[in-house]
Structure 1
């Protein structure tokens, strides 16, 4: 057997040689320095040329150019490089998922490895190894997340039947919003829901993308089940469609349709939105659109009376946002300025949702505000808008519900009141005084802020309300009790005025919770229960929830706005009405504390569970304890938890 020639050996070796995958950007490869694989990488940022940091230049371009005689097949890029190039040109990475690709400079497009970006703190093993990596072990550091089990590997959502691209395309077409649905229900979201809970981080960009969707829908791009349109089948586009459906669910809830149809529509939009989330693999590949979708869906569930489900979903949403690194400014430093701004706004919105819900439930929050630098200009301005005050107010709430154990309750409460007052005084004129309101929207913003701030004040003052008797010789408790009384009255009045102008307070869980908890405390607190003014407010609140505007069933149940209320809120209404009825029938003496007895739900469609008040002694428990038992009574029967059947 003849020995092979050197040329034959070289030919075989060339065929067997595996092309080394490019891990560093072109400038770092050119300078032969370390590159962390991000876009732009830290090295390019330190050298002040992030705009030239790119990964799509082939390393042997000069060699190919110097050999024009090479045939076309041998000069073509390798399959691996072609695949990477296609990925780069198809979709941006998760942090850029909300930006049309045409608007993203080439220098800002991240390579495919960034799609699987998972935030890790500076002290994590991944971050430490990556910071110490050299060019020789780049490939190892790029895969550290997967090696250590800290990175998802499923490219498709595993918990659904649709597996192939064709099946997913058909499934997507089945839940797409129709043109008539978008035109009708997005208006309700934009005008009614969004101004008082601005979850969308960039409304202008969202509306522009919505117009793109409507044009594509009218052009017939989203009709043929057998013809997949790639630009609408991507995870990025499906995530945007899920966000659009979520806004329609919220819009349907605030629409002028009768309650049964409204509930069915809102639920259907939410179901379709969540299915689109699964098609976009939301749990394994989160994006800014996905986080916003989950926030809107959770808030809609809450407004439909399902606050426990909203609480659970919000926890998942926050964890996904933290996976992306939205909770810290440092993790977004390599992103384009637009994305950093949007991420900051979105995290502030998450703080808004979590802090208000935690304050209502008296549960510990998940969010933090230490990861982002404070905007110091807010402390110098005296023209803060409604949204700016609400964002600042929610940061204060986090301090309130995370008590400092080294400071006394009364001292902390007085300090919190001072901070709340200072913040309120820096708002725009129409937010401070209703006499300065000149438009309907200014009136609504004034009343919404009055409700939220009054509720915060009442929560701050609850240490003084827990005392069984007033102590005039102590100044701090007396100040807190006076502020508490004023805040409860202000919250009730603001609700009554607000509902006369808009459906927002009757459809918003947080506002219903505020007025019911406030009127209940007015009813059972010794400082206010015999006050004629407070009693009139209580009766007015009852009348609103039993108003003639709601269609009444034969048994007297509320068919319109009332039935969406959660079981806790219905229980609060029943308790409040029972207390008023008992006071009117028995002419209760002023020194006798009210005790709920034998209450019937009557027109509110739900009875009070037997034994609910068995453990309450009116002479030993504070009004706050009454409120807690009524509003936060057990909703789940765990007595048979140990039994299978």
Structure 2
């Protein structure tokens, strides 16, 4: 046994006792180490090599978070320097590469009194007061965008297929940048009226009866094709006139019908921007008219709130919620559409729409049973549509026992021939975590078979329909044909990117089956874009179509990065040039925020792919005289809006409308610090 030595002024236990968490008598060697037969391992820390200060874990986490926020700010500022400087961008200088920007890195932001650095606080030895340092919230980390999803297919295709070094430095668009507006509104569902005013306060925002009928007629001509069934109240002008001329008493008795009329006005304004400008897109017109349509959308939502739609819903309430979905998506508010559709699902289930009408007691009338079946299948269709966009679980766990509705007027023929079988196939794809190659091929063939079984007038032929002299089916049949083709081929892309043999090569060096299907579908989707820009420009506001075009362009560009030599290389480069020019056209006209995102990413993609930028410039489809006239019309419209009468704001701040003059104020369109749901003067 080693001799026992007494150590003076020992304040700590030996290292072995501290690790075992046992009592130490603080002699060397201590009794605990001697009893274990390890007296030579008994060591006491020396004051010169020991940090006696305890680690403050929360303090250290805050320091690391602040350092992470500083690096994120640098990255955001550097990324902002890479954006195009103006609508005429498209030059090589507008898209600097990452290597060229290393010499111009921004300097670290200086600290101020409000954001004191933790390093300076640690030097003083003082701990920050509780709540003084709050971790910043990263909104991107709080939203989930899964797979298979429309907005994540680019990133997934890159990770699974593209292996070149150029793809590693390319900035892949994130789902939140696409699904959420770049400048989110501070009031997604604004309350422009006081709750105590009730339906009477909302009634005052209605324009004259003839103007309401004009908006509803615009909705019937331009947007009604997007729904399988519309109630008779919106089909007959005489019924609407009697309802509106009856005054606020009718609205108080039928608030759900008022909500249906208001959302149809909002859709009529949104879908007729192109036609009310002389069948052409005018720069800034889409955003300006949205100030008007948002009022009626907010009025429809407020009407549902007042009537207590969650506790006392009816069929018109469900129809109103379903009509809100395309309005929100075409406005770039896809996340809001996801939330509204969740409410629509719960409203439909609360009324028993998921059960077959013959099983209900008392059983509804045959006409009502037919409507219930149509609306429930439309709820399922919208469920798979939004679930596919976000890559999130289906909102409806099962189809239910509702039989498909019979084909009767006014239901369009494509509902039974396309919508219902497409819904079943999409549910099979989205509800399965893993799909075998055999199952993927089976669903792919089934989806392509849907297009083959459509009526000939609704079968999109890319070679014929993209000709300049093509005179095909009128609106809305041409739009339906393009949408059906885009949906099916987007489904083919989502399916075949999950094939395990997507990177398999034949012995002769050809691409695998899955990759061939993906590229073929991308090329056809870009043909849909070409047709829309040539022959159906009124449909360019469709968000889903623009997203499919953007995905197809990015996938073709990424494939060029991975395969520098293949037979369709030059044709794919030319299609990318055309797609970029079309997106630049939309971005200049302000039709869609997604177009600006596409221009940003495709422009940088061109540098890596090797497509020359010099020949890509914005060219208007109109002559210089037309451009001047459009600019003059836009200026005149802006002047008229600025000179809006002050009477629009009378009656205690409740918005009034005596004609086409009511608009959402600017404060509700800014992501500012205003947190009051009150009406603000423009």
Q: Does 2:596 match 1:562?
A: no
Q: Would the aligned equivalents of 2:321 and 2:344 in 1 still touch at CA under 8 Å?
A: yes
- Aligned partner of 2:601 in structure 1 is 575
Pairs aligned (count): 396
For the pair shown, the structure with the greater C-alpha radius of gyration is 2
- Aligned partner of 1:392 in structure 2 is 421
Q: Does 2:283 match 1:245?
A: no
- Aligned partner of 2:392 in structure 1 is 363
Q: Distance in 2 between matches of 1:460 and 1:419?
A: 12
Q: Distance in 2 between matches of 1:516 and 1:465?
A: 25
Q: Distance in 2 between matches of 1:268 and 1:529?
A: 52
Structure 1 unmatched ranges of 5 or more: 1-157, 223-227, 551-556, 588-635, 637-645
Specify which of 473, 477, 488 is matched with residue 453 of structure 1.
488
Alpha-carbon deviation of 1:446? Answer: 2.1
Q: Does 2:330 match 1:303?
A: yes
Q: Give the 3-state SS of the residue equivalent to 2:419 in structure 1.
A: helix
Q: Distance in 2 between matches of 1:529 and 1:508?
A: 33
TM-score by length of 2: 0.53
- Aligned partner of 2:252 in structure 1 is 233
Moved more, 530-539 or 384-393: 384-393
1:51-99 Cα offsets, whole Å, 9 max, x none, are: xxxxxxxxxxxxxxxxxxxxxxxxxxxxxxxxxxxxxxxxxxxxxxxxx
Q: Distance in 2 between matches of 1:419 and 1:358?
A: 20
Specify which of 407, 430, 447 is matched with residue 420 of structure 1.
447
Q: Distance in 1 between matches of 2:558 and 2:224?
A: 35
Q: Distance in 2 between matches of 1:385 and 1:528?
A: 39
Q: Does 2:214 match 1:184?
A: yes
Alpha-carbon deviation of 1:160? Answer: 8.6
1:362-396 Cα offsets, whole Å, 9 max, x none, are: 11111255313444989xxxx96367413321221
Alpha-carbon deviation of 1:343? Answer: 1.0
Q: Give the 3-state SS of the residue equivalent to 2:588 in structure 1.
A: coil
Q: Does 2:301 match 1:274?
A: yes
Q: Distance in 1 between matches of 2:244 and 2:591?
A: 34
Alpha-carbon deviation of 1:275? Answer: 1.4
Q: Would the aligned equivalents of 1:294 and 1:313 in 2 still touch at CA under 8 Å?
A: yes
Q: Would the aligned equivalents of 2:460 and 2:485 in 1 still touch at CA under 8 Å?
A: no
Q: Distance in 1 between matches of 2:206 and 2:417?
A: 34
Q: Would the aligned equivalents of 1:485 and 1:528 in 2 still touch at CA under 8 Å?
A: no
Larger RCO of the pair (alpha carbons < 8 Å, separation 6+): 2
Cα 1:385–1:310 change in 2 (3 A) is closer
Cα 1:159–1:318 change in 2 (3 A) is farther
Specify which of 341, 353, 357 is matched with residue 326 of structure 1.
353
Structure 2 unmatched ranges of 5 or more: 1-190, 278-284, 466-470, 614-670, 672-682
Q: Does 2:580 match 1:542?
A: yes
Q: Does 2:200 match 1:170?
A: yes
Q: Would the aligned equivalents of 1:498 and 1:505 in 2 still touch at CA under 8 Å?
A: yes
Q: Distance in 2 between matches of 1:472 and 1:350?
A: 43
- Aligned partner of 1:429 in structure 2 is 456
Q: Would the aligned equivalents of 2:354 and 2:400 in 1 still touch at CA under 8 Å?
A: yes
Specify which of 224, 243, 246 is matched with residue 194 of structure 1.
224
- Aligned partner of 1:207 in structure 2 is 235
Q: Distance in 2 between matches of 1:398 and 1:586?
A: 42
- Aligned partner of 2:544 in structure 1 is 510
1:131-186 Cα offsets, whole Å, 9 max, x none, are: xxxxxxxxxxxxxxxxxxxxxxxxxxx999545xxx43422422335324323322
Alpha-carbon deviation of 1:488? Answer: 0.8
Q: Would the aligned equivalents of 2:501 and 2:514 in 1 still touch at CA under 8 Å?
A: no
Alpha-carbon deviation of 1:289? Answer: 0.8
Cα 1:370–1:310 change in 2 (3 A) is closer
Q: Would the aligned equivalents of 1:522 and 1:528 in 2 still touch at CA under 8 Å?
A: no
